[in-house]
Amino acid sequence: MSEQMKVSQHEHGLVRIFAIDLSAEEIDEFRNRSFSEDDDHWPLRDALGATYLDQDFIEVFDVADLEDLGLHGYMRQGLGVSAADLADMKPQIDAISGHVLVVLSSAFDGFEQTLHARAPLRWLGTFKEETAPVQFKPLASEAARGSVADTPPPKINNPHLTLLAAIVALPIIIGLLALLAWLVLR
């Protein structure tokens, strides 16, 4: 059975976790991307059903490698998933063993697509990265006082306009010099 997930063009801050139901010997072949003249072969991307996937923003690892931290701790401390998102799922996350796939929103690089995850991937959940709360406190520095309306508009220094002014002014200056020379020599 295939799991469908929409990835929007503006997706940001989501972490998708999948269990990989393969033996340790099969993982390298599944995770590694190979190129040939006619084909770009990547079983992981194909199982995820992605049309675009940046491998710099995915991780495949054995949960046992996390030792005492565990998958729950890694998701909280390493991936920044909010404690609220993880609270209800702690028993299920702690029970996960074997290899997992972590896919960050950045892996899709703004390409809107629909994922069709299928075996050997098993979707475990999609979580939000915790972000700092927005604060609208005034800045303490005196330099931050005042308003934008008090600021004069910036002076535009356009080299093209300067050149155009020089071209227009040059004949006028030559005409004035010629007139001055004619008056002196007469």
pLDDT at residue 148, rounded to an integer: 67
Mean pLDDT of all residues in 52-57: 94
- Alpha carbon 89 to its chain centroid, in Å, reads 27
pLDDT tens string 123-157: 999 999 887 777 777 777 777 777 767 677 777 78
Choice between 64 and 153, residue whose per-residue pLDDT is larger: 64
> How buried is residue 75: exposed, middle or buried, by Cβ count under 10 Å (0-12/13-18/19+)?
buried
State pTM to two decimals: 0.68
Q: How many domains does the chain have?
A: 2
Instruction: Tell whether 55 is covered by a domain.
Output: yes
**3-class SS of residue 31:** helix
Instruction: Tell whether 136 is covered by a domain.
Output: no
Which helix (H) or strand (E) segment holds residue 101: the answer is strand 99-104
**3-class SS of residue 102:** strand
**8 lies in the same domain as 48:** yes
Choice between 146 and 182, residue whose per-residue pLDDT is larger: 182
Which helix (H) or strand (E) segment holds residue 116: the answer is strand 113-117
pLDDT tens string 93-103: 989 999 999 99
pLDDT tens string 1-51: 567 899 999 999 999 999 999 998 999 999 988 876 667 789 999 999 999
Instruction: Tell whether 144 is covered by a domain.
Output: no
Rg of the chain on CA atoms, in Å = 31
**15 lies in the same domain as 83:** yes
pLDDT at residue 156, rounded to an integer: 75
Instruction: Tell whether 110 is covered by a domain.
Output: yes
**166 lies in the same domain as 77:** no
Mean pLDDT of all residues in 153-176: 87
**Residue range of the domain that includes 15:** 3-128
Domain boundary among 86, 108, 128: 128
Mean pLDDT of all residues in 162-174: 91
Instruction: Tell whether 79 is covered by a domain.
Output: yes
142-148 LR contacts (CB < 8 Å, sep 24+): none
**94 lies in the same domain as 13:** yes
What are the CA-CA distances from residue 160 to residues 156, 166, 167 (Å)? 11, 10, 11
Instruction: Tell whether 141 is covered by a domain.
Output: no
